[in-house]
Amino acid sequence: MPQRGRPRGFDAEAALERAVEVFWRQGYEGASVSDLTAAMGINKPSLYAAYGGKEELFRKVVARYAEQDMGYARNAIAQPTAYQVVATLLRENVLAVTRPDRPAGCLSIQGGTACSDENAPVAGFLAASRLAGEHALAERFAGAVAEGDLPADADPVALARFVMIVTEGQAVHAAAGVSREDLQQAAEIALAGFAAASGARLPERAT
Amino acid sequence: MPQRGRPRGFDAEAALERAVEVFWRQGYEGASVSDLTAAMGINKPSLYAAYGGKEELFRKVVARYAEQDMGYARNAIAQPTAYQVVATLLRENVLAVTRPDRPAGCLSIQGGTACSDENAPVAGFLAASRLAGEHALAERFAGAVAEGDLPADADPVALARFVMIVTEGQAVHAAAGVSREDLQQAAEIALAGFAAASGARLPERAT
DNA sequence: TCAGATACGTACCGCTCGGTACAGAATTCT
DNA sequence: AGAATTCTGTACCGAGCGGTACGTATCTGA
């Protein structure tokens, strides 16, 4: 029972990928259904049949983005020490928000921080997804405190919040056109600041 | 020759203030002209006659916002030491983006980081205005280096970029509903990080 | 071979968008 | 008083919005 009826005439994954770029570049409200179908190479009824509507498409787009473009965050959180977690996260985030083959910034911010009352759920959904990453990072830091990798008096939740604030600021900055190199400098300052403020154990190196 | 013809039936400054809130809460594209006129208590032709149009109104709104709601930044930059500049800026920014009588976040981000091609000038205008503040801060830090308040090898431009990144991240976080107290914790971490990473001279206190 | 099912393209739906024409009301200058 | 000027409210403009009805094309299962 694989497929009955006429088979779909386009690659749903490839079309979704095109939609990622449109929403990323123009935001949820700034991307019209016509913009989307033009970029995806399909007609409107196909979009509604395959994805359910604009908002449902957007949610699928965000899910795909999280999987395809946020992998570095999962990689970062798996690093062996808190310092390396933050170093990886901040450095990889700079690369991610300044990829030359992608729109500048980060979909979960470019998608829309503010919108009309009608679309408020979209902004809320994006905000919640950003905060979910922060919770994961806080738990990672809590583990680091338990291991002695971070000092006992370190506040894992506040530290995670600081790090996520930096990544969000980097994304906003990147969207404003700031270069990868310039953001890398700022990331190193943030990393040094994290190390000093948290008391994290540093990796072996010449001091 | 003060006024000829029928006098305006509303207070243009008060109406502009209402418009600030609408754009702040809903963003440029998310705020319709009808939303604006309803909040301002005027009809559309009055809006066009008094302000020139939606985009011109938005620019006037941003100018008013910069004057009324960003005063803390000018105050911060006038502090006597780099450390105090950053301490004031970060702490006051937290208060500004979490004012209970105002929308959460910051107009220059909520206004729109991404939008349709048609409104791209608006996003560019906001981005440029954010970066202007960063330049002013960099010059302040350059002066601090010259004075010996910051070490000779400190990079004023990169430090300013780091600080502005934090303020932008705070604004995004605030718009997501994070509380003032939670942001204050993160601001203290950022401040301690700035001090450590920059080598700024600290104010006298118990070490 | 043909019925059932699914996807496609066209053409359209009601609605809201940003923006304006126009006539009447309120004021100043002569 | 009356002309000139400016603001106000209503009613409207063309365009684009998100979303869909419908007839046709293409597939599977019997």
From the list B197, B170, B168, B202, the residue with the least C-alpha distance to B184 is B170
Largest CA distance in chain A: 68
Please check the confidence at residue A207 and state whether its pLDDT lies above 70.
no
Which tokens go with A68? 């395809």
From the list B71, B107, B76, B94, the residue with the least C-alpha distance to B173 is B94
Give pLDDT, residue B73.
Answer: 98
Query: Protein footprint on strand C: which nucleotides are under 7 Å from a CB?
Result: 4-11, 16-22, 24-29
> Are A26 and B197 in contact (CB < 8 Å)?
no
Question: What percent of chain A lies above the pLDDT cut of 70?
Answer: 98
For A78, the 3-state DSSP assignment is coil
- A98 sits in the region (left: phi over 0; alpha: psi -120 to 50; else beta) called alpha
Which tokens go with A90? 């901040």
Q: What is the dihedral of CA B82, B86, B88, B93, to 10 degrees?
A: 160
Q: Which residue has the closest alpha carbon to C9 C1'?
A: A43
What CA–CA distance (Å, rounded) separates A188 from A140? 21
Please check the confidence at residue B29 and state whether its pLDDT lies above 60.
yes
Q: Are A114 and B110 in contact (CB under 8 A)?
A: yes
Domain borders along chain A are: 12-58, 70-198
Question: Tell me, what amino acid is at A146?
Answer: A
Closest CB to A165 among B109, B110, B186: B186
Which nucleotide is closest, CA of A6 to its C1'?
Answer: D27
Could you say which architecture CATH assigns to the domain B70-198? Orthogonal Bundle (1.10)
- A99 sits in the region (left: phi over 0; alpha: psi -120 to 50; else beta) called beta
Mean pLDDT of chain A: 96
**Which residues in chain B have Cβ-Cβ distances shorter than 8 Å to A117?**
26
Q: Are A199 and A151 in contact (CB under 8 A)?
A: yes
Give pLDDT, residue A2.
Answer: 61
Superfamily of domain B12-61: Homeodomain-like (1.10.10.60)
Q: Half-sphere exposure of B128 toward its Cβ, with a 13 Å CA cutoff? A: 8
- A18 CB contact with strand D at below 7 Å: no
Cα separations in angstroms, A133 against A141, A194, B186: 13, 18, 16
Q: Are B116 and B29 in contact (CB under 8 A)?
A: yes
What is the arithmetic mean of pLDDT over A156-162?
98
What is the arithmetic mean of pLDDT over B117-138?
97
Give pLDDT, residue B1.
Answer: 52
> Are B30 and A172 in contact (CB < 8 Å)?
no
What CA–CA distance (Å, rounded) separates B181 from B160? 24
* pLDDT tens per residue across span B149-181: 999 999 999 999 999 999 999 999 999 999 999
- B44 CB contact with strand C at below 7 Å: yes
Q: Report the residue of chain A nearest B162, measured CA to CA.
A: A186
Q: Report the residue of chain A nearest B128, measured CA to CA.
A: A176
Domains A12-58 and A70-198 share a fold: no
What is the arithmetic mean of pLDDT over A150-163?
98
Which of 1.10.10.60, 2.60.130.10, 3.40.50.300, 1.10.274.100 is the CATH number of A12-58?
A: 1.10.10.60
Angle at B32 between CA B27 and CA B36, to 5 degrees: 90
> Are B127 and A175 in contact (CB < 8 Å)?
yes
Which nucleotide is closest, CA of A32 to its C1'?
Answer: D17
Please check the confidence at residue A206 and state whether its pLDDT lies above 70.
no
Closest CB to A166 among B130, B155, B166: B166
